[in-house]
Structure 1
Amino acid sequence: DLMTFLSASPTPYHAVANAAERLEKAGFRQVAETDAWDGTSGGRYVLRGGAIIAWYVPEGAAAHTPFRIVGAHTDSPNLRVKPRPDTGAHGWR
């Protein structure tokens, strides 16, 4: 499953799109970053460019319920060619 995900995700944007698809299949729903979020139970996620943030509110959770945060990078390993390089040497850019 991991290798399938990695093969289908050559860029951060692909990784985020694939993660969002998996979250949708698991019952998560997309919310807008600028909207007010309700505190009801269930999974939610926000997309912005090559980034995704997802969370799950368990049934019966209160405002003071402890939570855990896990983070990962979708941009490594990744090689991108700069579209307009601003450096050069010996006539090469």
Structure 2
Amino acid sequence: MINWNEERKVIKTRQEVVNEIKEILIDSLMLDIDKELIMNDQPLFGRGLELDSIDALELSIGISTTFGVELNDDDMAVLSSVNKLADFVIENSEEFINED
């Protein structure tokens, strides 16, 4: 049987992580864009937000500082979208691992 209270909690947590990632993008990279305009599956590099390697470094520092999750060279694929970053943070952050 589905525990709807637990499902709502998971959804709320994920939404909070997504919003925080968008805030990190805007604040640490000094983007002049409203967070509502950043789509969750929008590419962060290339034709998406047009981020570059320096931006990737700043973003990874912001993720590490905010969530306590370290990104290494093997994890760079998670920087492809906000959704992938949110999944990575939730799977690797002590804060969310301990909630289970």
Give me the TM-score of the superposition, normalised by structure 2. 0.31
Task: Name whichever structure is richer in strand by fraction.
Answer: 1
Bigger RCO of structures 1 and 2 (CA < 8 A, at least 6 apart): 2
Please identify the structure whose Cα radius of gyration is greater.
1
Task: Name whichever structure is richer in helix by fraction.
Answer: 2
Give me the TM-score of the superposition, normalised by structure 1. 0.32
